[in-house]
Amino acid sequence: MYVFKIMLTEEQSKLIKKQLIEQISRWNIDEQSKNNAKEYILKLNEKELEEFLIKNKLLKEVEKPTIEKKEKDCIFCLIIDNRIPSYKIDENETSLAVLDIKPLSRGHVIVIPKKHVSLNKIPVSSFSLAKEIAKKIKKILKPKEVSISTSLLFGHEIINIIPSYENEINERKEAKKEELEELQKLLTEKKIVKEDKKLKKTIEPKLYKFPRRIP
């Protein structure tokens, strides 16, 4: 069973605020009221913004940009197109797995379908990739457990792979570049070593034993 929930990063919050402010500009009210509303939106942090969206039932409207705006507004599409840098862990034909830059816990990975998919349309192969990465996280990082859940934002559904550790509460924190690079190395190193061994086996010359020469 997969749990649907919203988990906003700082970049995602900025994009949502931009959309909300554009909507406020079209409201049929006086300019002072518009400015007050815009100022209120800008002051919200990520958690407050999530609560605001849910309370005012604006989530669906914000999460479904038009096709024309998809490339511009969807942070996940920008990651897939390499227009936003990311810390890649793995990928297959349908999906890309990267480290969350504002993780809920150490080793939080998101699997992004390469096509802009909406609710309940994630490819089966995306879940297969998520399960493989969850096993790798369990083996390498040794968490108490690893959960797999889905999130929908900007009309683009993703899969979250979230490790949980003993005596720690999952809470979003900005990850340092050094931490992300270290985790990327840990979670991809085994694959690299395996490929190196295969290459070595291919190029290593065979040694033949010749019979002892008798003068």
Give yes or no for residue 170 having a pLDDT over 70. yes
The pLDDT of residue 40: 87
Q: Are 166 and 117 in contact (CB under 8 A)?
A: no
pTM score of the predicted model: 0.58
In this prediction, residue 162 has a pLDDT band, given cuts at 50, 70 and 90, of very high
What does the domain layout of the chain look like in residue ranges? 10-73, 86-195
Mean pLDDT over residues 133-155, rounded?
Answer: 91
Structure tokens at 8: 């906003």
C-alpha distances in Å from residue 161, one per residue of 35, 88, 120:
39, 14, 17
In this prediction, residue 59 has a pLDDT band, given cuts at 50, 70 and 90, of low
What's the CA gap between 36 and 85, in Å, rounded?
35
**CB neighbour class for 213 (10 Å; exposed up to 12, middle 13-18, buried from 19):** exposed
The pLDDT of residue 33: 78
139 phi-psi bin (left φ>0, alpha ψ -120 to 50, beta other): alpha
**Distance, C-alpha 135 to centroid of its chain:** 17
The pLDDT of residue 48: 82
Structure tokens at 148: 């797999």
CATH topology (fold) of 86-195 = HIT family, subunit A (3.30.428)
Q: Per residue in 95-120, pLDDT tens?
A: 999 999 999 999 999 999 998 887 67
DSSP 74-140: -HHHHHHTTSS---EEEE-SSEEEEE-SS-SSTT-EEEEESS---TT---HHHHHHHHHHHHHHHHH
| End-to-end Cα spacing for the chain | 78
The pLDDT of residue 198: 52
The pLDDT of residue 110: 96
DSSP 175-191: PPHHHHHHHHHHHHHHH
Of all residues in the chain, the percent with pLDDT exceeding 70 is: 75
Residue 57: count of CB within 10 angstroms of its CB: 8
Across the chain, mean pLDDT equals 79
Give yes or no for residue 66 having a pLDDT over 50. no
Within 13 Å, how many C-alpha atoms sit on residue 68's CB side? 0
